Amino acid sequence: MYSIEKNLYLTAANRLSGTKIIVIGDLILDEYLFGEVNRISPEAPVPVVWIRKEKRTLGGAGNVIKNLSRFGVTSVVLGRSGNDETANTLKELLTQEKTHAEGNKILLSENVPTILKTRVIAGHQQVCRIDREETHSLTSVEEAELFRAFSERIDQADAVVLSDYDKGTLTPKLIWDIISLSVSKKKIVTVDPQVSHFFHYEKASILTPNHHEAGKALGRKLETNEEVETAAKEIAVRLGSPSMMITRGEKGMSLYLAAEDKTYHIPTVAKQVFDVTGAGDTVISAYTAFRAAGLTELESALVSNVAAGVVVGKLGAETVSLSELQEALEKRGILA
């Protein structure tokens, strides 16, 4: 069992409120329609959902921002939305989080709508999901504008998160430019990757794919510890990255550190799993926040593993507070 010295954890946790992280990626608005099912439709063999409650919240890169905000971290938001009413809701929700409003840069596009994902939930069961989106890559003008905004803000940041949902914001050129500048300035840069871009994230500090994504990128299944160890090292070497994390669902996560040429297998801590929506956002948020606040790669991975274990016990793309996180770390014997 791996552990973290409690004083080191508390010192890092206290630093979070003074930490600033740039989040750049695909902004999504998530809508939840909660209801009950009492009958089948006479029009088709489908359930009739009687809606009792509605909720809209930040999704995609916005969920990373929401997670960081719960930790007390200030985010600087860079991304793209449509020029529509949904974008207004997105901006309103961002103002409720701990973001650097004057430093945020959200491009308003006439070519794409603001992405809206609607989930219909009856009881604890998701009945269906409705996606409203058009996926187009940034234009060269938009690429230049977003990178200029990034370059003007990087010096004041402690770390950078690339939240890639493959919706067109993170183009290969923008990925290369952002990581290159971040590395040159010795900034931590973490990536929640998309398979389509997998080997564009050269020199990133760490990638945090799940085992399906990592396996798909390599063209093979990753099931055993040995297969995951080989894959994590192979990806890290190909990218020239110092570390690589593969999340594995009920098997926990595996962290490869190039400096030690060693993989650490961290068992899951989840007791109940209601919904895995947004768990990857929690992992990268917790890892980046605590890494920027001074914990090691392994210590930050331990924290992110416990954080993910808490959120999958909640319904929807939820977050974990610092008090919940510390309680969970102590309960599971991680803080020594």
Q: What is the pLDDT along the chain (336 residues), one digit of tens a residue?
A: 799 999 999 999 999 999 999 999 999 999 999 999 999 999 999 999 999 999 999 999 999 999 999 999 999 999 999 999 999 999 999 999 999 878 899 999 999 999 999 999 998 889 999 999 999 999 999 999 999 999 999 999 999 999 999 999 999 999 999 999 999 999 999 999 989 999 999 999 999 999 999 999 999 999 999 999 999 999 999 999 999 999 998 889 999 999 999 999 999 875 554 445 568 899 999 999 999 999 999 999 999 999 998 887 666 557 899 999 999 999 999 998
Which listed residue (26, 158, 192, 281) is catalytic?
281
Beta-bridged to residue 34, according to DSSP, are 53, 121
- Cβ partners under 8 Å of residue 214, min gap 6: 222, 228, 231, 232, 235, 246
Strands (E), 177-259: 188-192, 206-207, 243-247, 253-257
| Residue 336 placed within a domain | no
| Residue 124 placed within a domain | yes
The per-residue pLDDT for 1 is 74
| Residue 63 placed within a domain | yes
Instruction: Reduce the DSSP state of residue 26 to 3 states and report it.
Output: coil
Domain count, the chain: 1
Instruction: Reduce the DSSP state of residue 253 to 3 states and report it.
Output: strand
| Residue 223 placed within a domain | yes
CB 303 within 8 A of CB 286: yes
| Residue 1 placed within a domain | no
Torsion-angle region of 92 (φ positive above 0: left; ψ -120 to 50: alpha; else: beta): alpha
The per-residue pLDDT for 210 is 93
| Residue 167 placed within a domain | yes
The per-residue pLDDT for 93 is 96
How far is residue 84 CA from its own chain's centroid?
A: 25
End-to-end CA distance of the chain: 11
The per-residue pLDDT for 317 is 57
Nearest to 50 by CA among 60, 65, 35: 35
The per-residue pLDDT for 272 is 53
Does the active-site annotation cover 281? yes
Domain containing residue 287: CATH number = 3.40.1190.20
Instruction: List, edge to edge, every strand of the sheet that includes 115-122.
Output: 47-60, 27-40, 115-122, 125-132
- Cβ partners under 8 Å of residue 100, min gap 6: 20, 74, 75, 76
Instruction: Reduce the DSSP state of residue 132 to 3 states and report it.
Output: strand
The per-residue pLDDT for 101 is 78
Q: In terms of residue numbers, what domain contains 141?
A: 6-331
Query: Can you tell me the distance from the alpha carbon of 131 to that of 123, in angstroms, rounded to the nearest whole number?
Result: 21
Query: Can you tell me the distance from the alpha carbon of 320 to that of 335, in angstroms, rounded to the nearest whole number?
Result: 17
